[in-house]
């Protein structure tokens, strides 16, 4: 029985997602919520009559892109329902309510009720009067069972952040840290396993704060210990985690759990202690350096990736050089390089930003440094044998995937090997940011 029809026709929905892994997870949850309510997702070339835009507000660029997508969808189908949700909607819903074409503004905590909201509210509104608005302090349980187009599945375990970095708008829209019940997490991991996902990526905003707010004070290690015994899940990976949240206990859990991936994305932001203080980050450069050394000592083949911000107000050449020096010491395989973006409502907003041309020069320096660091890290693995989960790829002649420690690997396509297979590959070279390999055997 098709529930959602407009003029006798089934509602066709198109999802557009900006931003982080959490947003991608939440789009999947909204997808399953609407498809479960009788909507169908448009295929290429089909016209949608419902657009769900899951926005981001981490930078002013993200705001611009959110507005651009709204206008584009409206142009694509002026009759359509335009549903705007996500972090930009959370902060700027008043503006959105006045934006021509926008029919629904849905807050992050309402994402789990999307189908009901679209059913019960036809006019310009952002709340279903019959449903009490959940408090921002509540963890809103979203559910997924698969992750479209991916071999690894993101699993949201936490939301919000207890920190207050002076440049960050995320904490203003996502609120304080709150955690998902452990049982709920495990049930979702089993659902994903049942749909063939062999790698689970635990995801949150301040992932390392998991469990601190629960009655039974838990930590990420409790999630890992409970998830590791699930047959069929081959790998557990952590998404981004703050330096101060990488405790000795967590490191030992990673060391003693064979399924744990020896890769961490630990944002450093800057190598200058003066700038780190200005950012209200909770560590200094020597702490970060010592942490990465410890991870290299305790975790075999450990790989670091990180975020670096360029041009935070007051950043001098000396500060920037301190960032370069710290990166040379800690050797990340990948850098996410962000130019500082003044965000209204943040403590850094009133401060005078660094001149654009200086920021651009520094971004060029870091991009070149990243090339060098990637090559050095990759060549370290020459002739070694790595495990790899084969991912979906458009490459006809090649199979691609990621090693346990997140290194991207490419091997010549071999018959009998399919997406999702766990294989062993010998590293024979490095090209275009990827390790080149050859098949050793299929696990
Ligand atoms: S740790 Fe800092 S940058 Fe990250 S979400 Fe929290 S406040 Fe924002």
| Mean predicted lDDT score pLDDT of the chain | 92
What pLDDT is attached to residue 130? 56
Name all contacts of 223-226 with Cβ < 8 Å and 24+ positions apart: 223/157, 223/182, 223/185, 224/253, 224/254, 224/257, 224/260, 225/253, 225/257, 226/182, 226/185, 226/186
- The full set of domains in the chain, from first to last, is 5-120 (3.40.50.12160), 143-261 (3.30.750.210), 267-380 (3.30.750.200), 385-442 (2.40.50.140)
Res 81 pLDDT > 60: yes
Q: Residues 351-375: pLDDT tens digits? A: 999 999 999 999 999 999 999 999 9
> How far lies 242's CA from each of 113, 141, 153, 234, 269, in Å?
31, 23, 21, 25, 11
Integer-rounded Cα Rg, in Å, for the chain is: 23
Nearest alpha carbon to residue 109 among 90, 84, 81, 128: 90
Under 8 Å CB-to-CB from 286, ≥6 apart: which residues?
none
Task: Check residue 121 and give its pLDDT.
Answer: 64
| pTM over the 0.75 mark | yes
Testing ligand 1's pocket by substitution, the residue of 19, 158, 170, 265 carrying the most ligand atoms inside 8 A of its CB is 170
pLDDT higher than 50, residue 394: yes
pLDDT surpasses 50 at 442: yes
CA 163 – ligand 1 centroid, Å: 6
- pLDDT given at position 131: 53
For residues 88-110, give the mean pLDDT.
91
- Residue-wise pLDDT for 170-196, tens only, equals 989 999 999 999 999 999 999 999 999
Residue 36 to residue 217: CA distance in whole angstroms: 34
Tell me the average pLDDT across 315-334: 98
Q: Are 323 and 365 in contact (CB under 8 A)?
A: no
Residue 3's pLDDT band, with cuts at 50, 70 and 90, is very low
pLDDT confidence band for 397 (50 / 70 / 90): confident
Residue 395 has pLDDT above 80, yes or no: no
Question: In angstroms, what is the span from residue 411 Cα to ligand 1's centroid?
Answer: 37
Q: Which atom of ligand 1 is nearest to the CA of 164?
A: 7
Which residues lie below 8 Å from residue 11, measured CB to CB, with a gap of 6+?
4, 5, 34, 38, 39, 40, 49, 50
- Report how far ligand 1's centroid is from the alpha carbon of 266 (Å): 12
The pair of structure tokens assigned to 281 is 């980050």
Q: What are the Cα distances from residue 230, in Å, to 129, 202, 223, 227, 261?
A: 42, 15, 12, 6, 16
Q: Is 159 in the pocket of ligand 1 (CB under 6 A)?
A: no
Q: Give the pLDDT band (50/70/90) at residue 2.
A: very low
Smallest CA-to-CA distance from 77 within 97, 51, 95 is with 51
**CA-wise closest residue to 3 among 39, 50, 51:** 39
pLDDT in tens, 43-65: 888 999 999 999 999 999 999 99
Could you write out the three-class secondary structure of the chain?
A: CCCCEECCEECEEEEEECCCHHHHHHHHHHHHHHHHCCCEECCCCCCCCEEEEEECCCCHHHHHHHHHHHHHHHHHCCCCEEEEEEHHHHHHHHHHHCCCCEEEEECHHHHHHHHHHHHHCCCCECCCCCCCCCCCCCCCCCCCCCCCCCCEEEEECEECCCCCCCCCCHHHHHCCCEECCHHHHHHHHHHHHHCCCCEEEEECCCHHHCCCCCCCCCCHHHHHHHHCCCCCCCEEEECCCCHHHCCHHHHHHHHHCCCECCEEECCCECCCHHHHHHCCCCCCHHHHHHHHHHHHHHCCCCEEEEEEEECCCCCCHHHHHHHHHHHHHHCCCEEEEEECCCCCCCCCCCCCCCCHHHHHHHHHHHHHHHHHHHHHHHHCCCCCEEEEEEECCCCCCEEEEEECCCCEEEEECCCCCCCCCEEEEEEEEEECCEEEEEEEEEC
pLDDT in tens, 156-172: 999 999 999 999 999 89
Q: What is the pLDDT of residues 412-425, one digit of tens each?
A: 998 888 888 899 99
Q: Which atom of ligand 1 is nearest to the CA of 281?
A: 2
Render pLDDT for 122-148 as a digit per residue (tens, 0 to 9). Answer: 555 555 555 556 666 788 889 999 987
Q: Ligand 1: which atom is nearest the Cα of residue 167?
A: 3
Ligand 1 atom closest to the CA of 162, numbered from 1:
6
Q: Is the Cα dihedral 119, 122, 126, 131 positive or negative?
A: negative
The average pLDDT across 322-338 equals 98
Spatial separation of the C-alpha atoms in residues 350 and 344, rounded to whole Å: 8
User: What's the pLDDT at 169?
Assistant: 93
Nearest-CA neighbor of 263 among 246, 249, 248? 246
pLDDT class for 94, splitting at 50, 70, 90? confident
Share of the chain above pLDDT 90, in %: 80
- pLDDT tens across 239-259, in order? 999 999 999 999 999 999 999
Q: Rounded to the nearest whole angstrom, what is the distance from the C-alpha of residue 267 to the centroid of ligand 1?
A: 10
- pLDDT for position 358: 98
Closest C-alpha residue for ligand 1 atom 1: 163
Check pLDDT > 70 for residue 291: yes
* Interval between CA 147 and ligand 1 midpoint (Å): 26
- Model confidence pLDDT, tens digit, residues 18-35: 999 999 999 999 999 999
Instruction: Indicate whether residue 163 lines ligand 1 (CB < 6 A).
Output: yes
Nearest CA-CA partner of 204 in 226, 219, 187, 191: 219
Measured in Å, residue 164 CA sits from the centre of ligand 1 at 6
Report whether pLDDT(66) > 50. yes
Task: Return the ligand 1 atom nearest residue 242 CA.
Answer: 1
Residues whose CB falls within 8 Å of the CB of residue 256, separated by 6 or more in sequence, listed in order:
none
What is the C-alpha separation between 39 and 2, in angstroms, rounded? Answer: 8
| Mean pLDDT in residue range 79-104 | 91
Contact 276 CB / ligand 1 (< 6 Å): no
206 C-beta closer than 6 A to ligand 1: yes
Separation of 358 CA from ligand 1 center, angstroms? 25
Distance of CA 324 to the CA centre of its chain: 25
Report strand pairing: 434-442 vs 408-412: parallel
The CA 161 to ligand 1 mean position distance, Å, reads: 6
Q: Is 185 in the pocket of ligand 1 (CB under 6 A)?
A: no
Of 58-72, 116-130, 372-386, 388-402, the poorest mean pLDDT is in 116-130
Q: What is the number of the ligand 1 atom nearest to the C-alpha of 168?
A: 8
Given pLDDT bands bounded at 50, 70 and 90, which one contains residue 284? very high
């Amino acid at each position: 029985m098709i529930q959602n029809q407009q003029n006798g026709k089934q509602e066709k929905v198109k999802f557009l997602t900006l931003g982080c892994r959490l947003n991608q997870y939440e789009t999947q949850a909204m997808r399953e919520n609407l498809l479960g309510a009788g909507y169908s997702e448009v295929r290429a070339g089909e016209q949608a009559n419902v657009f769900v835009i899951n926005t981001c507000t981490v930078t002013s660029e993200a705001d611009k892109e959110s507005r651009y997508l709204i206008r584009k969808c409206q142009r694509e189908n002026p009759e359509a329902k335009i549903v705007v949700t996500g972090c930009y909607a959370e902060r700027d819903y008043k503006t959105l309510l006045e934006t021509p074409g926008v029919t629904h503004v849905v807050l992050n905590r309402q994402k789990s009720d999307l189908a009901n909201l679209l059913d019960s509210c036809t006019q310009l509104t952002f709340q279903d009067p019959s449903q009490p608005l959940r408090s921002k302090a509540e963890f809103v349980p979203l559910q997924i069972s698969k992750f479209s187009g991916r071999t690894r599945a993101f699993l949201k375990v936490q939301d919000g952040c207890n920190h207050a970095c002076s440049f960050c708008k995320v904490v203003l829209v996502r609120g304080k840290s709150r955690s998902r019940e452990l049982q709920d997490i495990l049930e979702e991991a089993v659902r994903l396993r049942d749909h063939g996902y062999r790698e689970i990526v635990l995801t949150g905003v301040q992932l390392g704060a998991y469990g601190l707010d629960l009655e039974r004070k838990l930590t990420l290690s409790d999630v890992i210990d409970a998830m590791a015994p699930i047959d069929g899940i081959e790998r557990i990976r952590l998404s981004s985690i703050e330096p101060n949240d990488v405790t000795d206990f967590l490191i030992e859990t990673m060391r003693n759990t064979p399924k744990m991936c020896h890769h961490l994305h630990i944002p450093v932001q800057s190598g200058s202690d003066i700038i780190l203080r200005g950012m209200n980050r909770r560590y200094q450069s020597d702490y970060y350096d010592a942490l990465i050394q410890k991870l290299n000592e305790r975790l075999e083949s450990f790989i670091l990736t990180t975020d670096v911000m360029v041009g935070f107000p007051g950043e001098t050449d000396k500060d920037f050089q301190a960032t370069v020096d710290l990166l040379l010491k800690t050797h990340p395989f990948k850098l996410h390089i962000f130019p500082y973006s003044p965000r209204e409502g943040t403590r850094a907003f009133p401060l005078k930003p660094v001149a654009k041309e200086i920021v651009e020069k520094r971004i060029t320096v870091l991009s070149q440094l990243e090339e060098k660091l990637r090559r050095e890290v990759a060549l370290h693995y020459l002739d070694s044998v790595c495990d790899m989960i084969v991912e979906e790829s458009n490459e006809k002649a090649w199979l691609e995937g990621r090693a346990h420690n997140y290194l991207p690997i490419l091997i010549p396509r071999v018959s009998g090997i399919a997406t999702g297979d766990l294989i062993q590959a010998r590293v024979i070279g490095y090209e275009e940011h990827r390790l080149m390999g050859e098949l050793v055997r299929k696990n």
